[in-house]
Structure 1
Amino acid sequence: MVFRAPEQAVEETKPRSAPVFVSKPEPCNVPEGEWARFCCRVTGHPKPRVMWLINGNTIVNGSRYKLTYDGMYHLDIPKTRQYDTGKIEVIARSSAGEALAITELRVVPRHDDYRGVLKNAPRPWYDETTQFQRSETELEKTFEERQ
């Protein structure tokens, strides 16, 4: 049995290896407003940093998107929006290399959401006449005050 002084402790060195996706995120179809989750497992030494992107935009952990790690990397979107539809990329990067996995998110629009219809609807005729009448009376008041 050999005893060594603490300052002589020999650290086992793992061979360097580039990041590799053991499991990649799967494509996801969800109704708007529902939860979407993407998962992946990455190996490599040194341990890679993982970055998620939606349609080329880097995801930051916050109220809209949740990034977690529990042995697997997770991207959660608690309330999906139509603009989340598109390409989901996950990049694993370390000093030994880089790996990329790509998948898709499809957010199905809600049928009871009329925001798009209402936004592009023409203004009602009665709203325009009311505004015209209001502006005339405001002009009359202004002229009366100046006289």
Structure 2
Amino acid sequence: MGNQYRFRVFSENLVGVSENPGVSQNTADIPKAGLTLKPPQFQEHDFRSAPQFLTPLVDRSAVAGYTTALNCAVRGHPKPKVVWLKNQMAIGDDPRFLARHSQGVLTLQIRKPGPFDGGTYGCRAVNELGEALTECRLEIRVPQ
């Protein structure tokens, strides 16, 4: 029950048995009563997620005139859009700042900061599922 068969038939008479068998063209299918195969439904996993900071920004102190960097790490799918902030204002294309993004690690490089570059810095990550924000304080020390 539940198998398929193909038959080979040899003929036999007074002269002997045939050399080659006759093979059936169609298979014989004997179904099992009451049993049918129902494969489980495959449900694709949804990998989308809202942005989340794995490593937040930390408060820093830097010496005026020496380049410093702020680092954090974010994850989210689809890839979040990142905006760097200084005192809740977007930094934009200021040439003193260089923002980099590699494999979820975000870096804001501040070139030769002066005393006016101190304040609260933030990083906002936004995608279609939500947004996340991390902030830190940057203190610029003037050498004596």
**TM-score class normalised by the smaller sequence:** 0.5 to 0.7
User: Tell me, which stretches of 5 or more residues in structure 1 are unaligned?
Assistant: 1-11, 112-147
2:79 and 2:46 mapped to 1: Cα distance? Answer: 11
Q: How does 1:61-80 map to 2 (within 5 A)?
A: 61-71=93-103, 72-80=105-113
| Residue of structure 2 in register with 1:30 after alignment | 62
* Residue 59 to residue 13, structure 1, CA distance change in 2 (3 Å): farther
Q: Which TM-score applies when normalising by structure 2?
A: 0.64
Q: Say which structure is richer in strand.
A: 2
Tell me how large the CA RMSD over aligned residues is: 1.6
* 1:50–1:92 contact (8 Å) kept in structure 2: yes
CA distance in 2, matches of 1:21, 1:87: 17
Please say if residues 19 and 97 of structure 1, whose CA atoms lie closer than 8 Å, have aligned partners that are also in contact: yes
- Structure number with bigger Rg: 2
Alignment-mate amino acid for residue 83 of structure 1: F
Which residue, 94, 100, 103 being the options, matches 2:133? 100
Task: Provide the residue aligned with 1:115 in structure 2.
Answer: none
Structure 1 SS opposite 2:116: helix
Q: CA deviation at 1:15?
A: 2.9
Which residue does 1:132 correspond to in 2?
A: none
Q: Tell me, yes or no, if structure 1 residue 89 matches structure 2 residue 137.
A: no
Equivalenced residue count is: 100
Which amino acid is the alignment partner of residue 91 of structure 2?
I
Stretches of 4+ moved more than 4 A in 1? none
Question: How far does residue 13 in structure 1 lie from its aligned partner after superposition?
Answer: 6.7
